[in-house]
């Protein structure tokens, strides 16, 4: 989740298709990844525009297991809204701890308005990991998703739920994570 134009779709595109996606909204992708030797089946929901529809956005927040909150280093407003997104998330989940990674994107550009020090301090206050990424150069793209999976795995197990179709799951016994 994050403000419009921060590169959410581009990050997802790099992870799933190893290509830069700049004008596409991606929903419900099921990549299989292995993190720390353990397989995981993902459902990725991109919030693109759902922030404009409060009911849909709240439903996304309620159903997600883990959240990437992305801002662009050249957009101070996108960084400020991170606090708003986090507050909405904690209220929707009715908890003070949710698997969450603060993500700066577009680190390949020169005109940074948000310093890493400011973002690191925010992540420290949130008690979450902070990762700098570039969807354009693929820097830390796979790593940020793996870091979120690690955060999800730290949480107590919850009730099993329906997995994607057997064809998509391929009967591999993957753990299933919904990330945003």
pLDDT of residue 171: 35
- Verdict on whether the full-model pTM lies above 0.85: no
Q: In the CATH scheme, what is the homologous superfamily, with its name and number, of domain 8-21+31-179?
A: P-loop containing nucleotide triphosphate hydrolases (3.40.50.300)
Q: With 60 as the cut, is the pLDDT of residue 90 above it? A: yes
Quick one: which H or E segment has residue 104?
strand 100-105
Rounded mean pLDDT, 69-74:
97
pLDDT of residue 138: 95
132-166 pLDDT per residue, tens:
999 999 999 999 999 999 999 998 876 544 444 43
pLDDT of residue 42: 84
Rounded mean pLDDT, 60-65:
87
Domain ranges of the chain: 8-21+31-179
Higher pLDDT, 43 or 151: 151
Higher pLDDT, 78 or 44: 78
Please state, in angstroms and as integers, the Cα–Cα distance from residue 38 to each residue in 33, 150, 157, following that order.
8, 10, 15
């Amino acid at each position: 989740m994050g403000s419009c134009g921060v590169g959410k779709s581009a990050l997802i595109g790099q992870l799933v298709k190893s290509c830069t996606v700049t004008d596409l909204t991606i929903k419900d992708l099921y990549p299989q990844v292995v993190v720390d030797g353990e397989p995981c089946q993902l459902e990725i929901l991109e919030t693109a525009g759902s922030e404009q529809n409060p009911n849909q956005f709240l439903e996304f927040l309620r159903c997600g297991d883990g959240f990437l909150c992305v801002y662009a280093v050249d957009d101070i407003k996108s960084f400020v809204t991170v606090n708003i997104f986090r507050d909405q998330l904690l209220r929707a989940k009715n908890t003070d701890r949710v698997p969450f990674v603060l993500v700066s994107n577009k680190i390949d550009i020169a005109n940074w308005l948000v310093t890493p020090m400011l973002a690191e301090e925010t992540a420290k206050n949130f008690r979450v990991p902070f990762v700098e990424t570039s969807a354009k150069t693929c820097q830390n793209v796979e790593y940020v998703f793996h870091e979120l999976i690690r955060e999800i795995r730290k949480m107590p197990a919850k009730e099993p739920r329906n997995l994607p179709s057997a064809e998509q799951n391929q009967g591999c016994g993957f753990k299933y994570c919904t990330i945003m």
